[in-house]
């Protein structure tokens, strides 16, 4: 009833997270991830808790439910209610280009837009199992873990310099590094947050792997949102 009166609509999602320490630590992990893309997260309720044993060591698992506002009403500097448009940017190498940061800062200047950036990184090369045992060796595991870590750091660095290029407005932009197929990454973000438009920032045709994969039209079909493709050269 109160929703009808105020016109406010909330989106409700569930998140599962684990911790080897405690359910509290697992809950904090879930909240940390969710807070990257959801504004004004103020509470979460516990839906389910369980415990799995991996080689005798307990792993605490928790399922949380969070609710957040989907409406686009914000208050501007003068205290007037304004409607914002939410953009989801998919960018990796072109994050460093001036065109993208200029576009974002022009939209941010009048506080009518909000941005979340996802930096998709490729999952390190597929593991090959030992043909004799069918098992994946521990050395292969640690190599993948290391290259994943390196890819994450590279992505975080690009994100940080993108925010840096926006100056004071940089902290108004949220972002995260994600692994795997960019379309899957976008769908996963859309399942826990809502946006009005997707911007794919990529290298020119011929160089761009995403354009070769036809990412923009795949996103348009899969997400039912307008997709703008920004083609940029690599920064010289």
Partner 1 sequence: MDSVYNVIELIGTSEQSWEGAAAAAVTEASKTLRDLRVAEVIEQDLLIEDGNVVLYRTKIRLSFKHESGE
Task: List residues binding partner 1 (CB under 8 A).
Answer: 22-24, 27-28, 31-32, 35-36, 41-46, 49, 64
CB of 49 to partner 1, least distance (A): 8
Residues 6+ apart with CB under 8 A from 54: none
**Eight-state DSSP code of residue 147:** H
Of the pair 41, 169, the CB lying nearest partner 1 is at: 41
CB of 24 to partner 1, least distance (A): 5
The span from the CA of 205 to the CA of 163, in Å, is 26
Q: Please give the C-alpha separations between residue 100 and each of 55, 68, 92, 162, 207, in angstroms, as whole numbers.
A: 48, 28, 11, 9, 18
Of the pair 36, 111, the CB lying nearest partner 1 is at: 36
Of the pair 26, 183, the CB lying nearest partner 1 is at: 26
Angle between helices 98-109 and 138-165 (to 10 degrees): 60
How many residues belong to the chain?
236
Strand ranges of the sheet holding 227-231, from the earlier edge strand across to the other edge: 173-179, 113-121, 85-91, 197-202, 227-231
CB of 65 to partner 1, least distance (A): 9
Residues 6+ apart with CB under 8 A from 42: none
Of the pair 118, 198, the CB lying nearest partner 1 is at: 118
CB of 97 to partner 1, least distance (A): 29
CB of 171 to partner 1, least distance (A): 12
- Tell me how far apart the terminal alpha carbons of the chain are, to the nearest angstrom: 57
Of the pair 42, 83, the CB lying nearest partner 1 is at: 42
Of the pair 48, 233, the CB lying nearest partner 1 is at: 48
CB of 29 to partner 1, least distance (A): 10
Nearest to 50 by CA among 65, 41, 59, 61: 61
């Amino acid at each position: 009833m109160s929703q009808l009166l105020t016109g406010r609509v909330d989106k409700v999602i569930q998140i599962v997270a684990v911790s080897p320490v405690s359910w509290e630590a697992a809950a904090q992990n879930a909240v940390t991830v969710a807070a990257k893309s959801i504004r004004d997260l103020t509470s979460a309720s516990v839906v389910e808790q369980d415990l799995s044993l991996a080689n005798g060591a307990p792993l605490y698992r928790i399922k949380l439910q969070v609710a957040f506002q989907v409406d686009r009403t914000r208050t501007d500097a003068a205290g007037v209610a304004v409607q914002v448009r939410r953009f989801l940017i998919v960018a990796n190498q072109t994050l460093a280009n001036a065109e993208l940061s200029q576009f974002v800062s022009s939209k941010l200047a009048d506080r009518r837009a909000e941005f979340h950036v996802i930096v998709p990184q490729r999952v390190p090369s597929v593991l090959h199992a030992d043909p004799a045992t069918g098992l994946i060796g521990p050395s292969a595991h640690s190599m993948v873990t290391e290259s994943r870590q390196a890819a994450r750091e590279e992505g975080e660095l690009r994100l940080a310099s993108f925010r840096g290029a926006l100056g004071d407005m940089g902290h108004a932009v949220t972002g995260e590094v994600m692994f795997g197929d960019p379309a899957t990454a976008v769908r996963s973000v859309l399942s826990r947050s809502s946006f009005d438009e997707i911007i794919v920032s990529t290298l020119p045709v011929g160089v761009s792997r995403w354009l070769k994969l036809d990412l923009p039209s795949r996103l348009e079909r899969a997400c039912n949102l307008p997709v703008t493709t920004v083609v940029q050269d690599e920064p010289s």
